[in-house]
Copies of this chain bind each other. A is one copy, B any other.
């Protein structure tokens, strides 16, 4: 029993009507499993999906500012008002400065939202854990989108990320990502000590996302 966050990225296959379909599928599957399933749709879809489904919705990114004179910025308060449960922070496709990550982790916590800080290796996992986020999600960037699961290609990164994260902060939970597609990958991640996985193309770009998610979870 673990956690699965599905990152829709800016995939056309995970936008608008298709996003809603994957969200509905996630909602349905959530009811059949004890695994915690959440989705991170495009910010443009977030409000509607949060309104129309019960699946937990996360933002893919937020900006390190509060309400105010910040044209083009997305704040933690905004996503909370729209029903999001939390946000990814510092995804490899939207890296942030250290001071910004610290700001956002604190802000999300203050608002009762969940923070998932993405990292790229053991060192940054250690550093992120020291910021006291809810989750750290380690994803070796070179494996993202390859279909080569981090749990197989780099088990030591997963194992040691978990180890160092818990050593620095026993409350932090660790996800791993990059290349995850099958139930076997998912189980391997949990066996290596991870609390769950971050997955994107494996579900969103699958021919049948619902079936892909069922297979991943094993229901």
In the complex, are the beta carbons of B93 and A69 less than 8 A apart? yes
For the complex, what is the distance from the CA of A145 to the CA of B70, rounded to whole Å?
11
Binds B, one of A38-46, A149-157, A181-189, A208-216: A38-46
Count of chain A residues near B, Cβ 8 A:
67
Chain B residue contacts of A96, Cβ below 8 A: 97-98
B61 near A10 (CB under 8 angstroms)?
no
Contact of A126 among B68, B90, B131 (CB under 8 A): B131
Say yes or no: B74 contacts A93, CB within 8 Å.
no
Bound form: Cα–Cα A200–B16 in Å: 29
Q: Which residue of B lies closest to A164 (CB)?
A: B130
New A-B pairs, 16, CB < 8 Å, besides A10-B66, A99-B120: A10-B68, A12-B77, A15-B67, A16-B81, A44-B82, A47-B47, A69-B200, A71-B88, A71-B92, A71-B93, A95-B97, A95-B98, A98-B128, A129-B130, A130-B130, A130-B164
Please list 19 pairs of residues, one from A and one from B, whose beta carbons are closer than 8 Å in the complex, sorted by A's number: A10-B66, A10-B71, A16-B82, A43-B43, A43-B74, A44-B79, A48-B48, A69-B145, A70-B93, A71-B93, A72-B91, A72-B94, A73-B93, A90-B97, A92-B99, A95-B99, A98-B119, A99-B119, A127-B127
